Structure 1
């Protein structure tokens, strides 16, 4: 298996979830994942936010706010909605994943929580529909005010693993409190939580980026990443706190510290501009963790290769 750094569109087309994970692991902390909102007007009309993110150096694209009961990506026109993910992958030549949210009805909300449609939640029916849509990976996490808890995520990991087996890579974890009172700041994640997630079948454990939520220091993040790796999983550090719209220097600091912490995948969120990170910040993050060589190659490589 090639390392992801050397993979092109034709390589990605042949990968299952297990092979994608191996390609990421072989890249030694130099993989960029850009999350984009697919249900809103893109940065500029005529294209998708996914295309902008890919053009600025993202290796993996994660679609937020997609409803698997009514799949739609703004900027992609298809007769059959069930083919929208397949069509998007043709346009960008990158692996594409989606968020599904393990909502906990018993969550102790720190604010008024939203009511999500079933197609956005990580119920078994939605997991099966995600597989039918042809996603390459799934991210079990929570948007703000959704009431997603670690307990609910753990349950969804087990269900997802049973449905996906090795076909789809599973990412799981919280990048912020998601509106839950006792799972914010330093209470978002612990060594016990990441151990449970990995043993339940998660391929990648999502952790808050260094410097994103209160208490996420380099030292603490490094300890969590070490625990993830000891359990045989990969670690993803996520910027889900709107800092994807921060200054270039902030992004560069976070990027380097996440790499020092041992991240295998570097996530940058969707709240910079119109459902996407500030595009230059995607590129600047990539430059910080892997330099011009790999950044420019990813930006320039044709989808026909």
Structure 2
């Protein structure tokens, strides 16, 4: 049996496979924090944003805008790009994941469609590359305007089950520019049947019309079929201040989610004391927050 993630040392975390990481999150009973970091932005004094996120209490790190075919993280210097993810895991002592976007070329868009690189798009090749680079988990979701659809997310999950050994997170934080439901029972069931370990949903309070009642239904479906649920603040509200983060975090914990994501829009706008720290403190209290912040990566 694995140690629950909120109490695990770095030496235990780095040895976890996808199934063990999932069980470790489940055992933490809704007290797991995931921080999403844009890898293209400079951080303070040549640090990566991932190191800062880990220092302020993030249990898992999700890299956004990371190109699997051109691996690079701002603030991280490696002799060989193939060592980028391994090096970042050593510096943070955290599981590291990557956003890969299942773009639908035929999607009916509500806004201008953005073109992204092949290394950021969810394909068999990019998923295999994520495995090669050593990522602990992949996240199939969409940035604003990229044209990601639930249909393509389901397809990406099936491809990942054949080509990736880590944890699979899947779902939409917002519309990604597409005119379709962001989260509903039909898509959730399809993601679970395809093999998703964690269902990603927008946090209640971030997407208009997505209610607590709807989230509770999704949580119950996911848990009944052995999947976990992660609520996400992916609408720039991570930059709205500590009180907003606190209110969203508490509301979604009441709904029963297993882990909570906080997006990258806060970087450079508000300090992680008002974002990651506030989320951590709200869903697990000061003792576990301090434990994760202070626990040496050399343990």
Q: CA deviation at 1:280?
A: 2.6
Report the counterpart of residue 250 of structure 2 in structure 1. Answer: 256
Q: CA deviation at 1:21?
A: 0.4
Report the counterpart of residue 19 of structure 2 in structure 1. Answer: 18
Q: CA deviation at 1:154?
A: 0.3
Q: CA deviation at 1:45?
A: 3.2
Report the counterpart of residue 73 of structure 2 in structure 1. Answer: 73
Q: CA deviation at 1:278?
A: 4.0
SS at structure 1 position matched to 2:201? strand
Q: Distance in 2 between matches of 1:262 and 1:142?
A: 24
Deviations 1:248-304 (A, max 9, x none): 111111111110111101000000123997443111111111001100000000010
Deviations 1:149-180 (A, max 9, x none): 0000000000001112xx20000000000010
Alignment of 1:185-204 (within 5 A): 187-204=181-198
Deviations 1:24-59 (A, max 9, x none): 0111000000001011212x2310000111111100
* Structure 1 runs not aligned, ≥5 long: none
Distance 1:50 1:101, change over 3 A: same
Deviations 1:56-93 (A, max 9, x none): 11000000000001000011100100100000000010
Does the Cα contact within 8 Å between 2:241 and 2:270 map onto a contact in 1?
A: no
Report the counterpart of residue 30 of structure 1 in structure 2. Answer: 31
Alignment of 1:120-131 (within 5 A): 120-131=120-131
SS at structure 2 position matched to 1:135? coil
* Structure 2 runs not aligned, ≥5 long: none
Does the Cα contact within 8 Å between 1:35 and 1:276 map onto a contact in 2?
A: no
Where do 4+ consecutive residues of structure 1 move more than 6 Å? none
Q: Distance in 1 between matches of 2:101 and 2:183?
A: 17
Q: CA deviation at 1:226?
A: 1.1
Report the counterpart of residue 223 of structure 1 in structure 2. Answer: 217
Q: Distance in 1 between matches of 2:89 and 2:132?
A: 14
SS at structure 2 position matched to 1:144? coil
Report the counterpart of residue 8 of structure 1 in structure 2. Answer: 9
Name which of 268, 279, 293 aligns with 1:274. 268
Q: TM-score, normalised by structure 2?
A: 0.97
Equivalent pairs, count: 298
Q: Distance in 2 between matches of 1:58 and 1:98?
A: 15
Q: Distance in 2 between matches of 1:179 and 1:52?
A: 30
Q: Does 1:99 align with 2:94?
A: no
Report the counterpart of residue 141 of structure 2 in structure 1. Answer: 141
Q: CA deviation at 1:107?
A: 0.5
Name which of 162, 166, 169 aligns with 2:167. 169
Q: Distance in 2 between matches of 1:123 and 1:45?
A: 35
Please give the root-mean-square deviation of Cα atoms over the aligned residues, in Å: 1.2
